[in-house]
Structure 1
Amino acid sequence: MYLKNIHLYTFRNYYKQSVNLQSQKTILLGNNAQGKSNLLEAIELLATLKSHRTRRDQDLILEGEKSSQITANVERIYGQSELSITLRSSGKRSLMLNHEKLHRHLEFLGHINAVEFSCLDLDLVRGSPEIRRIWLDTLLIQLEPIYAHIINQYHKILRQRNSLLKIIRKQFNDSKKSDNFMTTISQLKLWDEQLAEAGTRVTRRRNRVIQRLVPLAQKWHKSISGKAELLDINYLSNITIENENHQTIQQRFLEKIEQRSIIERNLATTVVGPHRDDVEFNINKNQAKFYGSQGQQRTLVLAIKLAELQLIEDVIGEPPLLLLDDVLAELDHNRQKQLLEAIQGKFQTLITTTHLPTFDTEWLKSSQIIKVERGKIFQF
């Protein structure tokens, strides 16, 4: 897989800029807040239709403009494709593949695959469960584009069910309960079944991808840590899922909903399902979130990112793009060396930096160096 070029129009702080990528390795050089991360964000959008920095399309559009566009050409084993995303302040997007408008996200996803590793990724260990769920879902979308539909359906059902729970709480607290109360309870049972069905599909896929990722991450972790530490990763579901089929898990889902029905009625929100799940990282059987040093946490995240690259390549049959956003400055010399050796010549890599001396002479000789300054791109 090779990203040949990318064109940005009123995207973030870029008015109109194009980049032709002429090397397997591209170094984006510039001071902070010049637009280096924005360029990587545009590639991330092409790969996943999501940004890890914002959920609002308005934030991606140059100030004062009503829309923006990202266009790119990618070369894959099976041929070349031109991809285009138009973002609007209204929130309505347009997607195009080879100049043809697409009506479904599924037709767009999978044409570019990318793994991003930024200095913010330590939050994967330290941050909230939501950060780990988003990471897992983003990985699954790249491995299995249909998952984008599955997770969106789940969240749609969840919103509808939560709205109904709010109505039920209001009706229950009303001293003069109307006849509609029992009707609303009956409606909730239908949403219970839909939530259990969709939630089971999400939970099983998340658990499976963790099982595939663990041995790859453990291999990299041993290499980086000098075999001194043991990494383990567990998917923490609020439904028992080990070695069970879809029907059994779905039934357990419904039983758990029944057990928590009074709590849900009081809180007016759904407390059972994959939106409450988490991923646990352990080093030598201790939770890395609480007991891991900063160095151990960085090693863990680096191992996970390298495992992601390997897993995507195994599944799709060709290496994904690697986007490294201000990472080297956060790593010590040993981890820098491990990372650069692991990706040497294997993945098309775009890496941002504020200082070229971070790289050795061979890396600099074999890389295309691009200067980014105030939303403008120059060949260095």
Structure 2
Amino acid sequence: MYLKDIKLRNFRNHINSIFSFDIKNYITGKNGSGKTSILESISLIFTGKSFKTNKLKSIINIDKNFFEISSNFSDDNVNYDITLYYDTKKRLTINGKRPENIINFYHNHPVIFYSPENEGFLSKEQEIRRNFLDRSIFYLDISYIDSLLGYNKLLELKKKYILKDVKDSLLYKSIHEKMSNYIKDIQNKRSNLIKSFNTYIEKYLRDIPSLNTEFFSLSYIPNHLDEDLLDKELILKKVLSGPHRDKITFNLNGESFENIASFGQRKSLSLCCIYCFLKVVEDFSKKSIILLLDELESGLDVERVSFFMELFDKYQYFLTGQSKIDKDINIIKLS
């Protein structure tokens, strides 16, 4: 997949902006100039979601009543024109037509995003870590979305009954039985992908300059469904067990990662995980991937910035920052 350009109408502070792209793109400008918004728009058309908000209405420029993203991209030597229009609901068209299977489209056009606030596996919030893992699995196995959607639908149903203080053990038993197959699939695939990630991390970690890290690994801690917690769930009014409470933790040189990593060290490890994501998806699915990196230079010295740019060199990437990178790259300067 190769993204050629993008046009933004009423998208945050971009009233009517057009940008042409190359393989390597560096978006620069002052804070508030709309750098991250360009990355957000790319992510939105290829994932259906914003990495900044769940409320798409908030993206519309304050004086307008809609936003529109239009882009030309090529995939397997075929050109496509994609448009996402939003006023009160999303309307996505590809070459002027609604896609027959939007899930299949997202599955076949992977995009990965990193920012200091959204670090993927290394984010502070467990929910963001799980979402990053789930997206990775989805790009490898489209059927995984069925297990996630099936489980989440039953989870919401159970939450509704708990909030209403329904005390019907047979009802909950029925919900748990329906959940069980989804849970098995979700947790097996999460566990297997973490093992794959660790293999890649071990391979590439030693090459990061000045990191002084002997050992780094991810651990997956599944939260198995526990029917004995039902009484406690009814008291606390929340579901206490299941994959939505799975944890992903880290070990750095024999200690808990959260306790000892500096900002620069954390960012280097995050970017290493991003690269491992790229390699896993590329090696197992043979898909090309678009890479979005917000504020790449922040917290990294020149040597590490250069290292990661070379590491990502074979992918189409979009970087943001405030200083010009001394490299053969398409520079988009915002005022």
TM-score by length of 2: 0.91
Deviations 1:133-186 (A, max 9, x none): 12222323333344344323322211111111122x3x5xxxxxxxxx5xx432
User: How has the CA–CA distance of structure 1 residues 45 and 141 changed in structure 2, closer, same or farther, with 3 Å as cutoff?
Assistant: farther
* Mapping for residues 154-173 of structure 1, pairs under 5 Å: 154-167=151-164, 169=165
Q: Match for 1:37: what amino acid?
A: T
Query: Which range moves more in the overlay, 146-155 or 230-239?
Result: 146-155
Compute the RMSD of aligned alpha carbons.
2.2
Q: Does 1:106 align with 2:103?
A: yes
* Structure 1 residue matching 2:269: 3-state secondary structure: helix
User: How has the CA–CA distance of structure 1 residues 56 and 150 changed in structure 2, closer, same or farther, with 3 Å as cutoff?
Assistant: farther
Q: How far is the alpha carbon of 1:61 from its aligned partner?
A: 1.7
Q: How far is the alpha carbon of 1:189 from its aligned partner?
A: 1.9
Q: How far is the alpha carbon of 1:123 from its aligned partner?
A: 7.6
Deviations 1:296-330 (A, max 9, x none): 32221121011111122223314311212111122
Matched-pair contact (CA < 8 Å) for 2:80–2:94? yes
User: How has the CA–CA distance of structure 1 residues 27 and 7 changed in structure 2, closer, same or farther, with 3 Å as cutoff?
Assistant: same
Deviations 1:197-220 (A, max 9, x none): 322222222222212222112222
Q: Does 1:315 align with 2:299?
A: no
Q: How many residues align?
A: 334
Q: Does 1:261 align with 2:258?
A: no
Q: How far is the alpha carbon of 1:35 from its aligned partner?
A: 0.6
Structure 2 equivalent of residue 245 of structure 1: none
Structure 1 equivalent of residue 306 of structure 2: 337
* Structure 2 residue matching 1:109: 3-state secondary structure: helix
Among 251, 255, 265, the alignment partner of 1:286 is 255
Q: How far is the alpha carbon of 1:187 from its aligned partner?
A: 2.1
Unaligned runs of 5+ in 1: 172-180, 240-252, 374-380
Structure 2 equivalent of residue 207 of structure 1: 191
Structure 2 equivalent of residue 61 of structure 1: 60
Structure 2 equivalent of residue 217 of structure 1: 201
Q: Does 1:229 align with 2:228?
A: no
Structure 2 equivalent of residue 25 of structure 1: 24
* Mapping for residues 16-55 of structure 1, pairs under 5 Å: 16-21=16-21, 23-55=22-54
* Structure 2 residue matching 1:102: 3-state secondary structure: coil
Structure 1 equivalent of residue 333 of structure 2: 371
Structure 2 equivalent of residue 85 of structure 1: 84
User: How has the CA–CA distance of structure 1 residues 188 and 235 changed in structure 2, closer, same or farther, with 3 Å as cutoff?
Assistant: same
User: How has the CA–CA distance of structure 1 residues 354 and 301 changed in structure 2, closer, same or farther, with 3 Å as cutoff?
Assistant: same
Structure 1 equivalent of residue 15 of structure 2: 15
Q: How far is the alpha carbon of 1:263 from its aligned partner?
A: 1.5
Among 119, 131, 149, the alignment partner of 1:134 is 131
* Structure 2 residue matching 1:28: 3-state secondary structure: strand
Q: Does 1:187 align with 2:179?
A: no
Structure 1 equivalent of residue 181 of structure 2: 197
* Structure 2 residue matching 1:86: 3-state secondary structure: strand
* Structure 2 residue matching 1:328: 3-state secondary structure: coil
CA distance in 2, matches of 1:274, 1:144: 18
User: How has the CA–CA distance of structure 1 residues 26 and 296 changed in structure 2, closer, same or farther, with 3 Å as cutoff?
Assistant: closer
Matched-pair contact (CA < 8 Å) for 2:8–2:18? yes
* Structure 2 residue matching 1:73: 3-state secondary structure: strand
Q: How far is the alpha carbon of 1:190 from its aligned partner?
A: 1.7
Q: Match for 1:36: what amino acid?
A: K
Q: Match for 1:267: what amino acid?
A: L
Unaligned runs of 5+ in 2: none
Structure 2 equivalent of residue 273 of structure 1: 242
* Mapping for residues 139-154 of structure 1, pairs under 5 Å: 139-154=136-151
TM-score by length of 1: 0.81
Higher share of residues assigned helix: 1
Q: How far is the alpha carbon of 1:283 from its aligned partner?
A: 0.9
Structure 1 equivalent of residue 322 of structure 2: 354
Structure 2 equivalent of residue 302 of structure 1: 271
Q: Match for 2:32: what amino acid?
A: A
Q: How far is the alpha carbon of 1:195 from its aligned partner?
A: 2.3
Matched-pair contact (CA < 8 Å) for 1:121–1:301? no
Q: Match for 1:75: what amino acid?
A: S
CA distance in 1, matches of 2:127, 2:83: 29
Q: Give the percent of matched residue pairs that are identical in Structure 1 and Structure 2.
A: 25
Q: Match for 2:94: what amino acid?
A: L
Q: How far is the alpha carbon of 1:103 from its aligned partner?
A: 5.5
